[in-house]
Chain A
Amino acid sequence: MEWETVIGLEIHAQLSTNTKIFSGASTAFGAEPNTQACAVDLALPGTLPVFNENALRMAVMFGLAVNAEIGKRSVFDRKNYFYPDLPKGYQTTQLAEPIVGPGYIDIELDDGTTRRVRIHHAHLEEDAGKSLHEDFHGMSGIDLNRAGTPLVEIVSEPDMRTAKEASAYARKIHAIITTLGICDGNMAEGSMRCDCNVSVRPKGQEALGTRTELKNINSFRFIERAIETEVARQIDLIEDGGRVIQETRLYDPERNETRSMRSKEEANDYRYFPCPDLLPVIIDDTYIEQIRAELPELPDARKARFVSEFGLSEYDAAVLSAYHAQADYFEQVTRVAGDAKQAANWVMGELAKNLNQKDLDIKESPVSADQLGGLIARIKDDTITGKIAKQVFEIMWAEGGSADEIIEAKGLRQVTDTGAIEAIVDQVITECTTQVDQYKAAEPDKRGKMLGFFMGQIMKASQGKANPGQVQGLLKQKLDALCD
């Protein structure tokens, strides 16, 4: 039987507010345990939440970026359950009246087509703390630094049909929230986390199959792998006569398998009700329009501009615009270098390769956009050759310095002095008598191909600094003269 996969995603994004959603404690990552938890975060008796308006602003920004209706009245609810890292015994979240209503984004598929993924809603809520089960001699430790960090939970409709579509959707959401600057997008630190709802159904069937929820997947690659693994498990199960049960499953990337966490029967009754400590959040059109006016250029618009303004290919434009820091970097390189195509090649090629090897974000790149732009400018004005440029880049990466400084210090300037080039050409022709004889013996139309050998020798002799155009011209002229 042919199966169709149906996928919906719930993405939790930590908002980049300085303080927590309902308290004045700092949200910075990595502090000593429990040093960023105030009385409100510890849920001391008598404490009350006060809503951080910055979180509201960021949620509205997100809503506008995904073409969504903005809830002019939104209400916080309590989701009640007991867990040691949930200090109040309830999570303050939004259920019936979220801040962001239905919206959508378009994702690009590998075949060049786009698919629209609808967003059911997005709501604001507070993060829980962390339970630490190691290093406590059989006890558990609780770190409440994260408790109360603002989250926006983005709930998609079940509009995705392949694991690739799911990861493309997640990447797009990542691009949007990082471009908006409302989330740092750091998946390893848990700033963006993803739950995948996955079900399968016989192709052509309208009714959805029973879904499972895969929890807390923290990379795009794992999204794809977790879904593929789970889909295979579900299909095997059904084809063997079994039945998928609705449950929460955990993806184990080391074993590449999903494991049951809890079934629906074990699920909590969360006893949602409106939080009486917080007033409904009421906003008006003026507030919304003010935020809309201040929105930065979003990834889709930026991609289109990269094509129209810089003449990049759709593919290059899509890659460069997917991550705002990379797009910013690229634009700055272009500005300095005065050549967008070269800039794109370098950012997506040499720079990306080096960043990947060192597992660095582009924001941590040892080579700045200005440095790289300066380097490309020197290629363009023929100060150095493309080959030498790679050497300069490596020095820049390892030791720093501007292209000009490195070129000067290492004497890498391209040789364009005709006399100097001529001397090298003459020297090579004199030394390579065998090859010159072969050249002379060859049919005139085969000779062009034989120039490569001489070019290589000459460039080697010039340590790569000779201007290849000039070399080629002189070389051909001199060899052809020998043939006459």
Chain B
Amino acid sequence: MFDLTLAELAKGLQKREFSSAELTQAYLNRIHDKDSLYNSYISVCDEQALQQAAAADARIAQGDAGPFTGLPIAHKDLFCTKGIKTSCGSRMLDNFISPYDATLVSRFNEAGAVTLGKTNMDEFAMGSSTENSYYGPSRNPWDTERVPGGSSGGSAVAVSARLAPATTGSDTGGSIRQPAALCGITGIKPTYGRVSRYGMVAYASSLDQAGPMTRTAEDAAMMLQVMAGADPLDSTCAEQPVPDYMAGLNTPLAGLKIGLPKEFFAEELDPAIAEQVQNAIREYEKLGASVQEISLPNTRLSIPAYYILAPAEASSNLSRFDGVRYGYRCTDPKDLEDLYKRSRGEGFGSEVQRRILVGTYALSEGYYDAYYRKAQQIRRLIQQDYINALQQVDVIMGPTTPHPAFRIGEKSNDPVSMYMEDIFTLSLNLAGLPGMSIPCGQTAGLPVGLQIIGNYFAEAKLLNVAHQFQLATDWHKQTPAGI
């Protein structure tokens, strides 16, 4: 049962081969049994999950079920869930029970999904390893001494270790795609504005985007179908109609034009990863695609631009965590300033504090033009690079990450080397484009991710391109040893 994809589980439920209650109980049992090894969950919601499953079974019995009714999933712990702790991986929100559901969570609830629990993450989605969680690091199922990537590490691990059929994640600079690559699963960051941000705790508002993390592209299409679409509660959410993502999955790829940015195959790329990605490209050629080299000349500027803009927005977004209304409050503050300083000093971890400080500095009077404004200009250049490239090709492909999963602790004291792990993913958030990572090989027993980038709102195309690869290969079916 644990090897079944979402699509297969949906069929099983519809054919009454098993009930949602049975399926949910089996997953809950497995989480309680195995997750101590992986630390992929922050909260497990047995009682609520079983209630939702019972309700789903009733709907199925009444013939009132939709395609998602009864399917168990887990949410990254930055999506607000009514009545369930939403911690954001932070001591700051360790006591925060949201009084409302995020739009994305409501949509899954209305579709009849079952929430198994909330997954581990880098604190406030800041990190590339899930080591910055107040609840301890999640462990990569392919090698538990290694990181799963981040910040949606718990969501990637849960799917990879078969502790959830599918999960939600969020991607501000690669936080869906990078852990998907490192854990050997499928993840898609949709176009900025495709999925509502209402109820998703903000890190960097102009870059944050929620997306699915699944075993297959087909499952990602099922998930995105539920998540995508306009939301009156989020002004930045696009009005663009949502296509039927399942309908286009089987379109043949003959004539597909693939662009390979030369900057993505530069010296920082691990040769073993380059080899796996090249193999995948050859597979696409077999499927009828043509390949050409393209250039995204400002790729290298994406790291400095991102690490100005994201912290700048974060420094403002995280101001609301002040110990006044909810969340962590220091004991016995002697005055208002002490309340602020100690609540925030004790409630936030070091990476969050670092980014708040960087962002505060970048927005300060006298530095705004040199940092924030300059970074915005670079952002437009990067966006223009992609727009130019996507006039020549249908999709852009390359590695998701420069290296496979690294060891826990290996980069924790070297933030810049940690930031470099996001070199291939950051620029997409700056441009607002959709991108996907799918498993495309292995090196030394660790998964390698292929990144597929498309034009604005071309999620259906990305899912189609990924699905065709998964029909022809079985990298997505590889399971870590001991699972």
Cα–Cα, bound, A78→B202 (Å): 15
Chain A facing B: main interface SS: loop
B81 → chain A, closest Cβ, in Å? 10
Tell me if B198 is interfacial: C-beta within 8 Å of chain A. yes
B235 with A277: CB separation less than 8 A: yes
- Which stretch (A48-56, A105-113, A387-395) binds chain B? A48-56
List residues of B (197-213) whose CB comes within 8 Å of A's CBs: 197-202, 204-206
Chain A 262-286: CB-based contact to B (< 8 A → 1; otherwise 0): 0000000101110011110000000
Task: State which of A44, A88, A271 has its C-beta within 8 Å of the C-beta of B100.
Answer: A44
Cα–Cα, bound, A43→B102 (Å): 14
List residues of B (309-338) whose CB comes within 8 Å of A's CBs: 312-313, 315-316, 318-322, 324-326, 336
A417 → chain B, closest Cβ, in Å? 75
Tell me if B233 is interfacial: C-beta within 8 Å of chain A. yes
The winner among A45, A87, A90, A272 for most chain B CB atoms within 10 A is A45
Which A residues lie within 8 Å of B234 (CB)? 48, 50
Tell me if B365 is interfacial: C-beta within 8 Å of chain A. yes
Known: A87-B320, A277-B205. A48 touches B235 (CB 8 A): yes
Cα–Cα, bound, A43→B320 (Å): 7
B199 with A271: CB separation less than 8 A: no
Chain A 26-49: CB-based contact to B (< 8 A → 1; otherwise 0): 000000000000010011111111
Which B residues lie within 8 Å of A43 (CB)? 320, 325
Tell me if B40 is interfacial: C-beta within 8 Å of chain A. no
Known: A44-B326, A46-B80, A48-B197. A78 touches B316 (CB 8 A): yes
Chain B 420-457: CB-based contact to A (< 8 A → 1; otherwise 0): 00000000000000000000000000000000000000
B294 → chain A, closest Cβ, in Å? 29
List residues of B (349-393) whose CB comes within 8 Å of A's CBs: 360, 363-365, 368, 372
Cα–Cα, bound, A42→B324 (Å): 11
A80 with B319: CB separation less than 8 A: yes
B316 with A50: CB separation less than 8 A: no
B313 with A276: CB separation less than 8 A: yes
A273 with B98: CB separation less than 8 A: no
Which B residues lie within 8 Å of A39 (CB)? 99-100
Which A residues lie within 8 Å of B204 (CB)? 276
A46 with B202: CB separation less than 8 A: yes
Tell me if A142 is interfacial: C-beta within 8 Å of chain B. yes
B324 with A84: CB separation less than 8 A: yes
Tell me if B281 is interfacial: C-beta within 8 Å of chain A. no
B365 with A45: CB separation less than 8 A: no
A88 with B205: CB separation less than 8 A: no
Task: State which of A45, A47, A90, A273 has its C-beta within 8 Å of the C-beta of B312.
Answer: A273
Tell me if A89 is interfacial: C-beta within 8 Å of chain B. yes
Which A residues lie within 8 Å of B372 (CB)? 273
Which A residues lie within 8 Å of B479 (CB)? none
Nearest A residue to B204 by beta-carbon distance?
Answer: A276
The winner among A43, A47, A272 for most chain B CB atoms within 10 A is A47
Tell me if A3 is interfacial: C-beta within 8 Å of chain B. no
Tell me if B340 is interfacial: C-beta within 8 Å of chain A. yes
Tell me if B86 is interfacial: C-beta within 8 Å of chain A. yes
Known: A45-B98, A45-B201, A278-B235. A271 touches B340 (CB 8 A): no
B98 with A44: CB separation less than 8 A: yes
B232 → chain A, closest Cβ, in Å? 7
B319 with A89: CB separation less than 8 A: yes
Cα–Cα, bound, A51→B235 (Å): 8
Nearest A residue to B205 by beta-carbon distance?
Answer: A276
Which A residues lie within 8 Å of B364 (CB)? 269, 271
List residues of B (82-117) whose CB comes within 8 Å of A's CBs: 86, 88, 93, 96, 98-100, 102
B444 → chain A, closest Cβ, in Å? 40
List residues of A (76-124) whose CB comes within 8 Å of B's CBs: 78, 80, 82, 84, 87-90
Known: A80-B363, A82-B322. A46 touches B201 (CB 8 A): yes
B320 with A88: CB separation less than 8 A: yes
Which A residues lie within 8 Å of B102 (CB)? 46
Nearest A residue to B336 by beta-carbon distance?
Answer: A84
Cα–Cα, bound, A166→B57 (Å): 71
Which A residues lie within 8 Å of B80 (CB)? 44-46
Tell me if B412 is interfacial: C-beta within 8 Å of chain A. no
Chain B 222-238: CB-based contact to A (< 8 A → 1; otherwise 0): 00000000001111100
A49 with B235: CB separation less than 8 A: yes
Known: A39-B99, A39-B100, A44-B326. A89 touches B235 (CB 8 A): no
B371 → chain A, closest Cβ, in Å? 11
Task: State which of A42, A50, A277 has its C-beta within 8 Å of the C-beta of B325.
Answer: A42
The 8 A-B residue pairs with the shortest CB-CB distance, nearest first, are: A89-B319, A271-B363, A276-B205, A276-B206, A46-B199, A43-B320, A45-B201, A46-B80
Known: A78-B316, A87-B320, A278-B236. 19 other contacts (CB 8 A): A45-B93, A45-B96, A46-B80, A46-B86, A46-B98, A46-B197, A46-B201, A48-B197, A50-B232, A82-B322, A84-B324, A87-B325, A89-B319, A271-B315, A271-B364, A273-B316, A276-B205, A276-B206, A277-B236
Residues of A that sit less than 8 Å from B by CB: 39, 42-51, 78, 80, 82, 84, 87-90, 142, 269, 271-273, 276-279
19 A-B pairs, CB-CB below 8 angstroms?
A39-B100, A44-B80, A44-B99, A45-B202, A45-B321, A46-B79, A48-B198, A80-B315, A80-B319, A82-B340, A89-B316, A90-B316, A142-B324, A142-B325, A271-B315, A273-B316, A273-B363, A277-B202, A277-B236
